Amino acid sequence: MGKAITTTRAQESTNAIERMYITMRHLFNRGFYKPNGVSGEALKNALLQLRPEIYGSVGEEKAELNGLIYVLERLPEGIEQCSFINLTSDEGYGISHINPIIPPKRRRNCYRIDEEQMNIEITRGRSDIYDILTHLTFLFIESEKICNRVLITDTNRTIRDWAKLESAVQKDELTQAEREIALIHTANILGRSFEEILDVYKKFSTKNNPDRFLNVIYWLGKLALDEEISGEKRAVTFSALLRERLGHHIHGERWANNIKEVLTKNNLLHRPIHIISANMHSVMNSLFAKVALKSEFPNTDSLEIYEALSSTGNAALRKKVTDLAEKNGMISMDDTSGTNIDVQIFDTAKIKVNNCSYEFSEKELDKKPVIFVMDYAFGEQAYETIDELLKPYITKKNAPSLINVDSVSIMGKAGILEGGKGDLMIPSAHIFEGTADNYPFKNELCAKDFEGYGLEVFEGTMVTVLGTSLQNKDILKFFHKSTWNVIGLEMEGVHYQKAIQSASKIRKSIGEDVKVRYAYYASDNPLETGSTLASGGLGTTGVKPTYLITDKILKQIFNT
């Protein structure tokens, strides 16, 4: 007999991700599933085997609090109260009387149809579905934990702590003493200390709903109890229109055509176009903030100006920069296509002398660059949008016009595998998680460009993952220490590069010599405890790398 073959933890985790991915696709094609049915249990078991870093102690008996905050910031408020969750396409709910609920950390329209049902619009492709289903699976696991802790074995009765929490939630307003007593009972239900519960209570609290945390825990437990005691099953469904439309680039095509129409109307389609995927402030601020705010910041460096502009209380300063940008050729396009990707177009021919922070060489009008900035895409949506954007534009006379793309630059946030928040990653290739698909390219940016600025810079391969919620240390350590030489993980790189390569190398809709630039700054380090995405945002740590990358991209564009 040969030696027994044992799989590594990384291999088991890879299998768990694949099972989740295949199960989610199967459920989507099927059209529905029940969280406590066979398919729902398969998702929960795969997630529990995987134990992603972002979900912390999801596999333990005690409740996972940071993961709960992370998930509920990306799902609509009130979803914990809904037994029926329906994932839909853009089916016209916007013209109804129902106001959309938009989660603070994910731009997606959600509609509370009635007390029991939440509809979530999917307009950003499969990655959006994987993201939502993974988060819902986490919620169902936590919900089940609460049920198991409060339901007395072999009875339909609940423990005293649950009755006290229910009583507190049903009151219109709680005194400080009542609130603290309710939190003590909640701490016992969740298997956490009062101190931990008090801390997370404050993070959940809002002006309109100070006791939101108590409500969330109560409803998570209540729906699981109702299912256990009375058999009222929860269900997740996918609308027929969503299943019919997904994968057909409906929103991406609409988005790209709107943009090409504006470029044609402004006679910019034939000019050298430089596409930048970034946020909606860094390029505009880099070009115009110094000039627009010279009276407010006469002797300060750019970084101080950018930090002030990123502060929530400085709307007046931001308006001043926007006004100057619009007077110097900036066209803003708020999204109406459903992609949730806003756009800014900067016509450098309209920038007046001394109104911009950059100097660029005198060129004939036809050679002056047009800078096209698009907001961040989400996962597979990056392929859909760029693929459609780089296609020839069919005008009303049916004459296809090629879009004159000189360069595509991608600036993004990513998880880093060595280093910390705010450090930089410069990729030389993208690989697609779970496959052997790899996309090497010549990056116009390199590590040397960023040396001497007080940030660590890493150069190597980036892995494009199916979802940041599906990563654990074992897989990431394998990627980092193996010959793949992975320096970080993100969700869009492969999809961008796939679209660029097909347009330039195969379909010939853009020049074969198109320049590409990729640079990422670290939003988290999933290999470090306490440094995952669930540990909170970057704050001002992200300002320096954001503007440093933007500066390097703009200098290369203006110097070509």
- What is the per-residue pLDDT for 471? 80
pLDDT digits (tens, 9 = 90+) for 334-363: 999 999 999 999 999 999 988 999 887 777
Residues across the chain? 560
**Out of 25-34, 222-231, 295-304, 313-322, least confident range:** 295-304
Given a cut of 90, whether residue 157 has pLDDT beyond it is yes
pLDDT digits (tens, 9 = 90+) for 465-504: 988 777 888 888 888 888 888 999 999 999 999 999 999 9
**Runs of H (alpha helix) within 191-281:** 194-204, 212-230, 240-245, 250-265
**Out of 228-232, 281-285, 367-371, 536-540, least confident range:** 536-540
Domains (range + CATH), the chain: 9-243 (no CATH), 247-559 (3.40.50.1580)
Confidence of residue 107 (pLDDT cuts 50, 70, 90): confident
Given a cut of 60, whether residue 131 has pLDDT beyond it is yes
Q: What is the DSSP string of 90-132?
A: --SGGGSSPPPB--TTS---EEE-SSSEEEEE--S-HHHHHHH
Given a cut of 80, whether residue 4 has pLDDT beyond it is no
pLDDT digits (tens, 9 = 90+) for 440-458: 999 999 999 999 999 999 9
- What residues pair up with 415 in beta bridges, in sequence order? 489, 524
- What is the per-residue pLDDT for 297? 92
pTM summary value: 0.91
- Residue 560: CB atoms within 10 A of its CB come to 15
Token representation of residue 346 = 């900067």
**Out of 17-26, 133-142, 302-311, 472-481, least confident range:** 472-481
CA–CA dist 17, 125 (Å, integer): 19
Confidence of residue 169 (pLDDT cuts 50, 70, 90): very high
Confidence of residue 323 (pLDDT cuts 50, 70, 90): very high
339: DSSP letter: S
175: DSSP letter: -
Contact yes or no for 529/535 (Cβ under 8 A) = no
- What is the per-residue pLDDT for 154? 86
Contact yes or no for 317/293 (Cβ under 8 A) = yes
CA–CA dist 129, 136 (Å, integer): 10
Going 468 to 472 to 477 to 479, the CA torsion angle's sign is negative
Residue 257 has φ and ψ, to the nearest 5°, of -65, -35
Residue of higher predicted confidence among 385 and 529: 385
Residue 424 has φ and ψ, to the nearest 5°, of -110, 150
Contact yes or no for 276/373 (Cβ under 8 A) = yes
